[in-house]
Amino acid sequence: MALLPILRYPDPRLKKVAQPVEKIDDTIRKLAADMAETMYEAPGIGLAATQVDVHLQLVVIDISEDKSDLRVLINPRIERLQGCHVGEEGCLSVPGIYEKVERAEQVTVHYQDLDGKNRSFTADGLLAVCVQHELDHLNGKVFVDHLSQLKQGRIKNKLAKQARVTA
């Protein structure tokens, strides 16, 4: 397994829309394993392939405290959204920035697993937020896109300043 570089906002590659995974093979399984290792190391609770500059519909999520509930979602799609929740979100591609975002309270998601089997689950709470956040990445959206233009500008300036300080 290998750690993958995570794209940082406002990198234009984060805007690319991911393509469906046509064939689930060892290459996809290795990508999922590398993404999981990268997510855990970061540390984070979700990572979309778009964030590591692979534009395929693949997401890894694990909201457990002990890293024991890894979910790999291939070609995921949200079938049902219910309710409304506003909560603070962060992102591995937007380090150090946390803002309130409105999301559905509950989602039902359909996807394929690493064996190509069709699966689905209904999630609420943090898992529902995480699913929506990661699927946004597959559609070329970052959580910052849900914010006002003013806040987006402030975040870009803050990240640019951080990059100058660490360079």
Is the model's pLDDT at 140 over the cut of 80? yes
Q: Where are the domains of the chain?
A: 12-166
User: Out of 65, 99, 105, 134, which one is annotated catalytic?
Assistant: 134
CATH level 3 topology of 12-166: Peptide Deformylase (3.90.45)
Q: Tell me if residue 29 falls in helix, strand or coil.
A: helix
Give the E-state strand segments of the chain in sequence order: 46-48, 58-61, 71-82, 85-91, 94-103, 106-112, 118-124
Contact (CB, 8 A) for 128 and 75: no
pLDDT band at 166 (very low <50, low <70, confident <90, very high): confident
pTM: 0.95
Q: Is 41 a catalytic residue?
A: no
Structure tokens belonging to residue 82: 């219910």
Looking at every residue in the chain, the average pLDDT score rounds to 96
Peptide bond into 10 cis (omega under 30): yes
Q: Categorize the per-residue pLDDT at 165 as very low, low, confident or very high, splitting at 50, 70 and 90.
A: confident
